Amino acid sequence: MGLFDRLRNDAGSDWHDFVAHEFVQGLGAGWLAPEAFKFYLQQDYLFLIQFARAYGLATYKAETLEEMRAAAETMRVILDTEMRLHVRYCASWGIAESEMASVPEHNAAMAYTRFVLERGMAGDSLDLHVALAPCVIGYGVIGATLKADTETTRRETLYDEWIDLYAGAEYQAVRHAAEERLDGLWARRGNEARYEALLTTFRSACRLESAFWQMGLDSAPRLEGMRDER
């Protein structure tokens, strides 16, 4: 069993509450209020900026040239590709980049990203990548799960494009590369004496991700009528 699978299994309800959060269910079933999703998208723009910084830190923390190149490339992809795609996608929802850049950062977004940076600064690359894992790997798991759910694919919803992004081959490759990176770091730097601390980091990150979903859910009224129709 790889490190990620072990962490996911041992995290129990913390992992499940994140990947099966009501916000995620609303994306799959289509009943999530568009206003809630738009609020989430705005905060996710700010979230991506901080995640790029986290990979800048990963470059600094890396102990091999290969690790440095991988972390630096991920930071470049976030800044040059993922953020550009995010801005383009948000424009389809009527949200301009200038609007996203000017919104206040919500406490839930700040909590997770600063937690990741703190774990990276206090620990090593393994600590940092474990803290990143619920986001980087978890979104791939969520996308694939929603895409495979017949209730999700039964009819078109507003959120199909978002699901397709994280279920698609490109992001699934990112997901699997992150799992392999964790396994490599564990092989080089991990030991059983470290595992409980890493699990604590992973579980905390899952809870902070759940809070990020909840932030979006709480930002707008729920479309209960739409939900009942599903």
Q: Which helix (H) or strand (E) element contains residue 70?
A: helix 65-77
Which residues of the chain are under the pLDDT cut of 50? 223-230
Provide DSSP, 75-126: HHHIIIIIHHHHHHHHHHTT--HHHHHHSPPPHHHHHHHHHHHHHHHHS-HH
Q: Which residue has the tokens 């905060």?
A: 43
Amino acid residing at 157: T
Rounded to 10 deg, the angle between the 34-61 and 65-77 helix axes is 160
Closest CA to 196 of 17, 15, 11: 11
Domain boundaries, the chain: 3-220
| CATH of 3-220 given 3.90.1150.10, 3.40.50.2300, 3.40.190.10, 1.20.910.10 | 1.20.910.10
Summarised one tens digit per residue, pLDDT across range 9-21 is 999 999 999 999 9
Amino acid residing at 186: W
Label residue 36 left, alpha or beta by phi (over 0 means left) and psi (-120 to 50 means alpha).
alpha
| pTM for the whole structure | 0.91
Which pLDDT value is given to residue 229? Answer: 41
